[in-house]
Chains A and B, each alone.
Chain A
Amino acid sequence: MRKKVWASLAAMVAAALAFSACTASGSTTSTSASAGGNVTLEFAQWWEPELPAGSLRTLMDQFEAANPGIKVKLISGPYASTKEQVVAGAAAGTMSDVVGLDGAWVSDFVKQGSLTNLSTAMTDAKFDASQLAAQVKIKGSTYMIPVANFVYPMFVNNDVLTKAGISALPTNRTEFAAAAKAIAKSGTTSGWILPLDTATPNGIQNDFMSWVWASGGSMLKDGQPNLVGNQGVKDVMAFVKDLYDSGAIAKGTFTLKEQDKVNQFTNGQVGMMVDSLAHVNLIRQQNANLKFTVAAIPTADGYTGKGALPYASWGIGIANNSKHQAEAFKLVSFLMGKDVNAKICSLAHAFPGNTGAVPDFVNNDPAFKQAFDLFQKSNLTNEFTGLPVAEDLMRSFDNELQKYLAGKESADEALTAAQAAWTKSFAA
């Protein structure tokens, strides 16, 4: 009887130990090592659904063939769910070994200690960082490397512009405003579309601040919010308000999302928009007859400096909780290699993260050729990259901009309120 009791107790202790071991292993790493000694890396990203079917897996197969003993498990989902998954993984310490990143997330993950310092990883692996087009750094250390860059130029519907009696592409704000108003007057088409939905407030980054950056302006000073008294931002606000009040902007602007913008432009309901170059193929698929031109975002009148193109990236980073840092960096190096990077960018219709890579679509397609020329001539700018709670910064600015456009507060009041919200977020 006593033996049975001891045996039962021993079994319970063993079960408890096994359970706690499982829990502990689950909380510290997401990698696994198979019996054959293979390392399996998890790679969480939203890229696979956006690339042609099977193409990312093919690249992973190439990587596995070149690196015997390393397997890659792709964990794919739409952008929004990947973000939530990465946030939850970062919180629980179960982040995938290699993660697809948006520049807007980096600061918060670094603060949380979830990302590996890639500067150290590059040094350890003797990786030539000079081949990288950009690196997202926090306090001097790299935490994200942009793999593919999606620039946001201006798209113009050629037929709509011609119908409105405008013969040349607008190059400054006065010309743009005149064109937008002329388009709006010429029929049922709107001149410009500005999506300001607060659920996904990236319209502030892509469609509003891009005008500030295009003319050499900035929303920051020494890395801190600089909105109050910022003439560059205030001028763009006045420019947008003028278009809004004149009815040149597509209606419904306060709840329009990015996909609404693309849909309306594709359907010919809007004459001009600022949008990702990644949507060129989508627009063509949905409306093969649409004739459009890709151009630089118009600058402030009289501005002669170098233009800037806003951009968003498919970035990559390594989880701090990964037990296979060296193997994970091998995957990063593979994706940033000249040929592989060119391949990914060709598939995604993006511009490369490796300075030596030239995606093939650049030479085959006039729209992409125009954009690539712009890309090479312009400064790539996205001041939200690397900022804390970047999406929330966009949202708080969005709320104030909406109040300003609705006539509920002045530009100065809007900028003061937005600055207060931003300062609070920066301090937190």
Chain B
Amino acid sequence: MTSTPTSAAPPLLKGGGKGSTAMLRKIRKVALPYGYLTPTVVLLTILMIIPIVMVVGYSMMNNVIMIKNPVFVGFQHYVEILTSDAFRNALQNTLFFDIVSVVVHLLLGFGFAMMLNSPMLGKVTKSIFRTIYVLPWLFTVAIIAVLWRLLLEPTGVINYLLMTFHLTTTQIEWLSNPDIALYAVTFINIWSGYPFYMTSLLAGLQGIPKDYYEAAEVDGASGWQKLIYITLPQLRPIIIAMALLDFIWTTQQFALIWMTTGGGPLGTTEMLSTYTYKFAFSTYQFGSAAASAVIILVISMVLTYLYVRAQKVKY
């Protein structure tokens, strides 16, 4: 309900009413953006800030969750983790897994995207290849893990083919041999992730104006020169953004490793993610698990910062 000022009202009050309305409008104007932000801020607080603060708090407590009165131990868990051989091993494996995955994802994705963008292929051929190439992206991690476990079994299809074509004389233990298990899981990750690059780069390639290539041809540029001086510079923002995102996602890869090798054999495929999981759900050391998770968070935040900076450069 609203009330309308009557003509009998004293002039002072009338003037005061106008003033307060103006004040309300001003407050509303200032508050309006905050009102729009409120749902996001509330959600971010509940879903991100509170859990992160809790995990950081847990990382400084001893036997947190498992005992009712945990003790504050400061950075003890961080010191233990950062100085442990197991962590260094997991970090090295994760770096290898990340770098090789990202580089090969990029090369494969770019190669396939170039092929699908080539005018030398007909529409039908392109559609067939596009469907085939994108298939790995359609499978969930669980299916990918089971599929490749079956294929790479010592008695599996891969070994059968290799032995049939006399490329090997013995059954290779792809996932169980400590010398090759890391390469095997990296290969699986590469297989499952390249379509992301392929589709994004294909979209990028299709967005490059044809005029550039026509002008280059007029100038007598070779195919290689067109690639170096037109295609790659045009795709650079996409490549940087995807490489950083892929690096973040690959660092956090857990399910694939857990379901194929579990971090073994002999810790050769142990990643930061599996290392952290074992702290939490195998030894119930939630304080150490939280510290390890915070370390992964810091690494991810550095990468995220680089990603955001790259995006700013783009726009």
CA distance A254 to B181 in the complex (A): 11
B173 near A252 with CB under 8 A, answer yes
Q: A184 → chain B, closest Cβ, in Å? A: 12
Q: Does A279 contact B (CB under 8 A)?
A: no
CA distance A406 to B264 in the complex (A): 13
Which B residues are CB-close (under 8 A) to A188? Answer: 155
Q: Does A198 contact B (CB under 8 A)?
A: yes
Q: A15 → chain B, closest Cβ, in Å? A: 15
Q: B151 → chain A, closest Cβ, in Å? A: 13
B-facing mask of A264-280, CB < 8 A → 1, else 0?
10000100000000000
8 further A-B pairs in the complex, CB-CB below 8 A; given A254-B176, A255-B260:
A83-B281, A196-B264, A251-B171, A251-B173, A252-B154, A399-B264, A402-B266, A403-B266
Which B residues are CB-close (under 8 A) to A198? Answer: 262-265
A254 near B266 with CB under 8 A, answer yes
Residue in contact with B178 in the complex, picked from A197, A269, A391, A406, CB distance below 8 Å: A406
A200 near B283 with CB under 8 A, answer no
CA distance A406 to B266 in the complex (A): 9
B281 near A87 with CB under 8 A, answer yes
CA distance A28 to B257 in the complex (A): 37
A to B CB contacts below 8 Å, 28 in the list: A87-B281, A91-B65, A108-B66, A111-B67, A112-B67, A113-B68, A196-B264, A197-B262, A198-B263, A198-B265, A199-B262, A199-B263, A251-B173, A252-B153, A252-B176, A253-B176, A254-B173, A254-B178, A254-B265, A255-B175, A255-B176, A255-B261, A392-B282, A402-B266, A403-B266, A406-B178, A406-B265, A428-B285
A425 near B153 with CB under 8 A, answer no
Which B residues are CB-close (under 8 A) to A399? Answer: 264, 266-267
B176 near A395 with CB under 8 A, answer no
Which A positions have Cβ atoms within 8 angstroms of B? 83-84, 87, 91, 108, 111-113, 188, 196-200, 250-256, 260, 264, 269, 389, 391-392, 395, 399, 402-403, 406, 408, 425, 428
Q: Does B278 contact A (CB under 8 A)?
A: yes
Interface size class of chain B, counting residues whose CB lies under 8 Å from the partner chain:
20 to 34
Q: Does B284 contact A (CB under 8 A)?
A: yes
Which A residues are CB-close (under 8 A) to B153? Answer: 252, 260
CA distance A233 to B175 in the complex (A): 27
Q: Which 5 A-B pairs have the closest CB atoms?
A: A199-B262, A254-B265, A251-B154, A91-B65, A198-B264
Q: Does B196 contact A (CB under 8 A)?
A: no
Q: A272 → chain B, closest Cβ, in Å? A: 17
Q: A88 → chain B, closest Cβ, in Å? A: 9
A91 near B66 with CB under 8 A, answer yes
CA distance A392 to B67 in the complex (A): 19
Residue in contact with B176 in the complex, picked from A108, A256, A425, CB distance below 8 Å: A256
Q: A245 → chain B, closest Cβ, in Å? A: 14
Q: Does B258 contact A (CB under 8 A)?
A: yes
CA distance A402 to B176 in the complex (A): 10
A-facing mask of B163-182, CB < 8 A → 1, else 0?
00000000101011110010
Q: How many A-B residue pairs have CB under 8 A?
A: 84
Residue in contact with A255 in the complex, picked from B66, B181, B285, CB distance below 8 Å: B181
CA distance A198 to B257 in the complex (A): 11
Which B residues are CB-close (under 8 A) to A111? Answer: 66-67
Which A residues are CB-close (under 8 A) to B171? Answer: 251
Q: A179 → chain B, closest Cβ, in Å? A: 20
B266 near A200 with CB under 8 A, answer no
A200 near B155 with CB under 8 A, answer no
Across the interface, name the chain A residue whose C-beta is closest to B279: A392
CA distance A147 to B201 in the complex (A): 58
Which B positions have Cβ atoms within 8 angstroms of A? 65-68, 149, 153-155, 171, 173, 175-178, 181, 258-267, 278, 281-286
CA distance A198 to B66 in the complex (A): 24
CA distance A420 to B109 in the complex (A): 48
Which A residues are CB-close (under 8 A) to B65? Answer: 91
CA distance A242 to B27 in the complex (A): 83
Which B residues are CB-close (under 8 A) to A260? Answer: 149, 153
Across the interface, name the chain B residue whose C-beta is closest to A250: B154
Q: A340 → chain B, closest Cβ, in Å? A: 32
CA distance A358 to B258 in the complex (A): 40
**Do most interface residues of chain B lie in helix, strand or loop, or is the interface mixed?**
loop
Which A residues are CB-close (under 8 A) to B177? Answer: 254
A402 near B265 with CB under 8 A, answer yes
A108 near B266 with CB under 8 A, answer no
Which A residues are CB-close (under 8 A) to B263? Answer: 198-199
CA distance A198 to B265 in the complex (A): 8
CA distance A120 to B282 in the complex (A): 30
Contact of A402 with B66 at beta-carbon distance under 8 Å, contacts A251-B154, A269-B155 already known: no
Which B residues are CB-close (under 8 A) to A84? Answer: 281
Residue in contact with B265 in the complex, picked from A87, A255, A425, CB distance below 8 Å: A255
Which B residues are CB-close (under 8 A) to A425? Answer: 283
A408 near B266 with CB under 8 A, answer yes
B284 near A255 with CB under 8 A, answer no
CA distance A392 to B232 in the complex (A): 49
B176 near A199 with CB under 8 A, answer no
B175 near A252 with CB under 8 A, answer yes
Q: A273 → chain B, closest Cβ, in Å? A: 15
CA distance A16 to B177 in the complex (A): 58
Across the interface, name the chain A residue whose C-beta is closest to B179: A406
CA distance A85 to B171 in the complex (A): 40
Most chain A CB atoms below 10 A, which of B176, B258, B265? B265
B68 near A402 with CB under 8 A, answer no
Which A residues are CB-close (under 8 A) to B264? Answer: 196-199, 254-255, 399, 402
Q: A166 → chain B, closest Cβ, in Å? A: 22
Across the interface, name the chain B residue whose C-beta is closest to A251: B154
CA distance A251 to B260 in the complex (A): 15
Which A residues are CB-close (under 8 A) to B266? Answer: 254, 399, 402-403, 406, 408
Q: B194 → chain A, closest Cβ, in Å? A: 24
Most chain B CB atoms below 10 A, which of A91, A196, A252? A252
Which A residues are CB-close (under 8 A) to B260? Answer: 255
CA distance A256 to B175 in the complex (A): 9
CA distance A79 to B60 in the complex (A): 31
Residue in contact with B155 in the complex, picked from A83, A251, A254, A408, CB distance below 8 Å: A251
Across the interface, name the chain B residue whose C-beta is closest to A264: B155
B66 near A392 with CB under 8 A, answer no
Across the interface, name the chain A residue whose C-beta is closest to B260: A255
CA distance A254 to B268 in the complex (A): 11
A255 near B154 with CB under 8 A, answer no
CA distance A87 to B129 in the complex (A): 47
Across the interface, name the chain A residue whose C-beta is closest to B284: A108
Which A residues are CB-close (under 8 A) to B66? Answer: 91, 108, 111-112
